[in-house]
């Protein structure tokens, strides 16, 4: 019990002395995680769409060659950035890129560190999202694509109007998962000097040597951020789902066979229609 009291007092002293620095680290972490997740989702969306463009043997040779080349490039990108740690990717891009570009690309100053951090986390997220988007597109019933083509829709119209809206709902849990992962994995950006939440912890510990009390504050902070992110993402998923109790209209056999649905909010108007239909179906002598 005395140890817990001591831990609590040490955490209180740290927060009182360095609270603004912890909060600044939280702010940088959230900005980096949200921005990189958004950009990574866009990269993954583009790669996923390019990776699922169909082609047949009857297509012209240049088209088939180009699509195969795109798939090879996307596959190489995905395998490299999924198969290597983000910390090494940060070192390679921040410190190694000037070597390969003859210093034409440099990340100088604090704005350069921000740009490098967003770039690193974004392309890492994009590699994971590319496979998620591809899986989301392939999970849609092929009959919907065939139906869209049957009514004259182009491939672009089919993707934007039929496939992608459904695929987006299917991959929403993965988008949320990547956001939560990025909130935690931004901690490796301290390797290039980015002052996020974990970097603030390292700097504060270097001053007062209260490693465990500061780590406890970090643990609570990361857990709070991820729990709030999970709650907001679940709320977005429920909003995308809409109402959960659509009912099949049973006015007559024809409407049942046609698969007509009604929303619970329209029950009052539908009940009036049911009474009108029942009255019209009655024999004239019973009206």
Locate 256 and state its tokens. 């049942």
d(CA 251, CA 89): 62
The Cβ of residue 85 has, within 10 Å, a number of other Cβ atoms equal to 11
Whose CA is closest to 53, among 147, 132, 159?
Answer: 159
Task: Give the pLDDT band of residue 283 (cuts 50, 70, 90).
Answer: low
CA 41/CA 47 separation, integer angstroms: 10
pLDDT of residue 105: 67
- Domain 2-241 CATH assignment equals 1.10.3720.10: yes
- For residue 278, what pLDDT band results from cuts at 50, 70 and 90? low
> What is this structure's pTM?
0.77
Give residue 258's pLDDT.
47
Confidence label for 256 from pLDDT (cuts 50, 70 and 90): very low
């Amino acid at each position: 019990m005395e140890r817990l009291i001591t831990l609590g007092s040490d955490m209180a002293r740290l927060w009182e002395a360095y609270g603004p620095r912890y909060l600044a680290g939280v702010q940088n972490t959230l900005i980096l995680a949200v921005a990189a997740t958004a950009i990574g989702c866009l990269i993954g969306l583009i790669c996923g769409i390019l990776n699922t463009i169909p082609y047949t043997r009857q297509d012209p040779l240049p088209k088939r060659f180009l699509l195969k080349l795109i798939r090879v490039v996307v596959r190489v990108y995905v395998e490299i950035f999924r198969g290597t740690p983000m910390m090494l990717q940060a070192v390679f891009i921040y410190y190694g890129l000037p070597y390969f570009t003859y210093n034409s690309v440099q990340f100088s100053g604090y704005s350069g560190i921000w740009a490098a951090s967003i770039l690193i986390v974004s392309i890492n997220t994009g590699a994971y999202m590319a496979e998620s988007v591809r899986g989301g597109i392939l999970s849609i019933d092929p009959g919907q694509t065939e139906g869209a083509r049957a009514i004259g829709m182009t491939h672009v119209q089919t993707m934007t109007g039929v496939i992608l809206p459904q695929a987006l709902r299917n991959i929403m849990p993965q988008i949320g998962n990547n956001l939560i992962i990025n909130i935690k994995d931004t901690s490796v950006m301290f390797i290039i000097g980015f002052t996020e939440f974990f970097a603030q912890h390292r700097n504060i510990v270097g001053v007062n040597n209260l490693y465990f009390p500061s780590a406890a504050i970090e643990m609570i902070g990361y857990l709070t951020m991820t729990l709030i992110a999970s709650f907001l993402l679940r709320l977005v998923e429920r909003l995308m789902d809409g109402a959960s109790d659509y009912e099949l209209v049973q006015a007559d056999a024809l409407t049942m066979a046609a698969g007509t649905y009604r929303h619970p909010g329209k029950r009052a108007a539908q009940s009036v229609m049911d009474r009108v239909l029942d009255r019209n179906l009655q024999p004239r002598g019973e009206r």
